[in-house]
Structure 1
């Protein structure tokens, strides 16, 4: 008699347990085998809590189905679901991702008292004058002078950057970090890029070419521009 294919693979990691679910069988079969496998894996009362990551593969689950999975796991002592990962996303999630990944171009001068606030990456062909402000959930690229305020990663993206052809801002912000106007020895700097250094929790400025090495995802900006 041929043994049935294993529907759930349990792997231990330094972060806890990973449950890899077969994405070809029925959801009911997954629940049944999950309950059976976890029931046979008894733990001592004094064991520490173990984080569980569920990998769905190419399977889509509704929120109700995810909650049922979590319930089965929570009923087993010392197990807690840390995350549920899937290769699939909903249309709504795809639209939301696209909205934040899009590059929004503007051709204008942002004057004192004016504000540009967008979702995604901002490409400004023009200047930001003192008293002007540009904000984006993603990166900010300015083909002109930045003399006002720029705030990238508004929703908490600490990997966002701010780049300008001429950089002499009154204030830079990335996520929740703020950098006041630098004490330049010159009248400003050309083609500089500001980024948040997580090691020192400080906004630093370097040449754009050097920052790209630290933020390789910036190369996708060029692809998105070419693909329109």
Structure 2
């Protein structure tokens, strides 16, 4: 009877991918992993540093076990773990993902020196005065004047948008992209609600809110007009 392999090693253009069985015991997994990585290390002693992606399927690993895997691989001369991917979410990760998808509604004026920050989308019914800052992990909707700083997609979401009834910001940020008011105020009509987004040239631009129907059709679960 053929022995089941608990560790599969596949080479890619970016390094190595380790597929670890999620049914065997963790001890058994470490034993086989050690044998295969030791063999791989002996065959590649003169090779440059190789990055390793670890896929653990439906197995849950504690932080201590993840660190143990990192150290385990680091001992194999030219190997280093780039990421550990699991299909299992912890409770805190699930709660964070849920929070990032929620819309937080706030009715207030964000005054100079104040910072309003939410993990998901922000719906602000009020103004952001000069010197005030609003930050969201998702999108920012200001039902009022935006005259301060707005940072959408703070966690790295480049598809996030910023919209305001009156768009007069001192600075806009979407993910790691930054643009200031003097650079984005040209040819902007003031009669419509406006939005800022990252275009195909990787630049923050401002346009009428209506363009989002076509640019970001999955922006929210709310129904929109044509």
TM-score after normalising by structure 2: 0.79
Cα deviation, residue 61, structure 1: 0.7
CA displacement at 1:197 relative to structure 2: 5.3
Secondary structure of 2:9's counterpart equals: strand
Deviations 1:110-162 (A, max 9, x none): 46666533232101234445555422233212244434432223455544321
Is the CA contact 2:151–2:173 (under 8 Å) kept in the aligned structure 1? yes
Distance in 1 of aligned mates of 2:116 and 2:26: 47
Deviates more, 1:25-34 or 1:116-125: 116-125
Structure 2 partner of 1:40: 39
Residues of 1 paired with 2:82 and 2:173: CA distance? 31
Q: Distance in 1 between matches of 2:86 and 2:44?
A: 31
Matched with 1:6 is 5
The farther-off stretch of 5-14 and 107-116 is 107-116
Aligned to 1:150: 150
**1:48: Cα distance to partner?**
1.0
Measure how far apart 1:168 and its partner are: 3.2
Preserved contact between residue 108 and residue 124 of structure 2 (Cα < 8 Å): yes
Aligned residue-pair number: 220
Tell me how far apart the structure 2 counterparts of residues 108 and 214 of structure 1 sit (CA, whole Å): 29
Counterpart contact for 2:158–2:175, Cα < 8 Å: yes
On the 8 A contact 1:19/1:53 being kept in 2, the answer is yes
Q: 1:20-39 alignment to 2 at 5 Å?
A: 20-39=19-38
Alignment of 1:5-84 (within 5 A): 5-41=4-40, 42-84=42-84
Cα deviations by residue, 1:42-92 (Å, 9 ceiling, x for unpaired): 334321111001111110011221222223222222111111111112212
* Range with bigger deviation, 26-35 or 151-160: 151-160
Take 2:188 and 2:199, find their aligned partners in 1: how far apart are those partners? 24
Q: Tell me the secondary structure at the aligned position of residue 123 of structure 2.
A: strand
1:173-188 to 2 correspondences below 5 Å: 173-181=173-181, 182-185=184-187, 188=190
Structure 1 residues 6, 212: closer, same or farther in 2, change over 3 A?
A: farther
| Residue matched to 2:205 | 204
Partners of 2:133 and 2:50 in 1: CA distance: 46
Kept in 1: contact 2:188–2:207 (CA 8 A) = no
Q: Distance in 1 between matches of 2:212 and 2:140?
A: 14
